[in-house]
Amino acid sequence: MKADSKIYVAGHNGLAGSAMLRNLNELGFKNIITKNHDELDLIDIEATSNFFKTEKPEYVFLAAAKVGGIHANNTYPADYFFQNISIQTNVIHNSYLNDVKRLLFLGSSCIYPKDSKQPIKEEYLFSGPLEKTNSPFAVAKLSGIAMCSSYNRQYNTKYLGAMSTNLYGPGDNYDLENGHVMAALIRKFSEAKKNNATTVSLWGSGNPRREFLYSDDLAKACIFLMTLSNEKFDSLLQNNLGSKSYPIINIGTGEDISIKDLSLLIAKISGYKGKVFFDKTKPDGVLRKLLNVDMLHDLGWSSKTVISEGVEKVLKNFNA
């Protein structure tokens, strides 16, 4: 991928996509195509086909998806299944029809079995039952991985799945019902501090652990992968992961934190000094999903933003 390569960032207004666009621009990539949702609905087969025929991008970052936290996934399973299957199927198939050179398909750590050995290696894919609260989303993403693998095998395409851990960063979704945990806690503690509240109520037991990757780090990792030499990039497509062979690579920090300790960290940084209550009627979800990122580290990339620094940045951004 060169400075003048024609790049399409699908989902450029989202948390991941906006970070990709920001970092691509900063790195001097200027020939970038983006379409807002009202300009192009990627669920619309004909509109997506016409877009690709007209624009003919050379590289595609597929960050467009229907995403959300544990409550949203648990409440709208049909939306999470249908919208993600539709978007990825249209973009991957039309990338093939229009000779896209490389496509990076963004997935998430929930594709792995809920009882995976930790940290989770890419080869653990399909090795056990999924976490119930987000299985429709996970099955949709697993289908996207299978689609990339099938097109690579049959048509010699170069499509790679980038499996990201939990994300946070500028432009996150702060909706308390449908957002992710990091955004929810940032908002809850910021508002509690501002309103001099004496109690903050969080979900679950506080025992689950999560790994949090700053969105700009994800973007840098994705651009690092898309600018790998042909030899290195192609080796990720044919990688034989134990008895399985799927074109995926994990992107994470290699460290996780309990929700309880995360709440203490955010309370401290936000200056909130009241009580924290854990509402056990709300789901915990999977207890742990720490990614093994050796494959990415061996290629020469590792994340830079430590969680306290990332939380400070996001809190500042939220309160701006």
Per-position DSSP letters for 56-109, written without gaps between them: --SEEEE-------HHHHHH-HHHHHHHHHHHHHHHHHHHHHTT-SEEEEEEEG
Task: Name the residue nearer to ligand GFB (CB basis): 232 or 268.
Answer: 268
Neighbouring C-alpha atoms within 13 Å toward the C-beta of 282: 17
Asked if 144 touches ligand GFB (CB under 6 A), the answer is no
Q: In this chain, which stretch among 53-61, 107-115, 293-301, 308-316 interacts with ligand GFB, using CB under 6 A?
A: 107-115
Neighbouring C-alpha atoms within 13 Å toward the C-beta of 192: 25
Closest approach, Cβ 165 to ligand GFB, in A, equals 7
Among residues 169, 208, 247, 310, the one that binds ligand GFB under rule CB under 6 A? 208
Q: How far apart are CA 126 and CA 32, in angstroms?
A: 35
Q: How far apart are CA 201 and CA 115, in angstroms?
A: 28
Asked if 212 touches ligand GFB (CB under 6 A), the answer is no
Asked if 69 touches ligand GFB (CB under 6 A), the answer is yes
Asked if 225 touches ligand GFB (CB under 6 A), the answer is no
Asked if 184 touches ligand GFB (CB under 6 A), the answer is yes
Closest approach, Cβ 234 to ligand GFB, in A, equals 28
Contacts (Cβ under 8 Å, ≥6 apart) of 215? 15, 16, 18, 19, 167, 168, 169, 170, 171, 172
Among residues 9, 42, 70, 200, the one that binds ligand GFB under rule CB under 6 A? 70
Sign of the Cα torsion 13, 18, 22, 28 reads negative
Task: Name the residue nearer to ligand GFB (CB basis): 145 or 202.
Answer: 202
Quick one: which of 205, 54, 62, 232 has its CA closest to 145?
Answer: 62
Residues binding ligand GFB: number (CB under 6 A)? 23
Q: In this chain, which stretch among 15-23, 25-33, 104-112, 249-257 interacts with ligand GFB, using CB under 6 A?
A: 104-112
> β-pairing, 59-62 with 32-33?
unpaired
Closest approach, Cβ 63 to ligand GFB, in A, equals 13
Residues in the site for ligand GFB, rule: CB under 6 A? 69-71, 73, 108-110, 134, 137, 166, 180-181, 184, 202-204, 208, 210, 259, 282-285
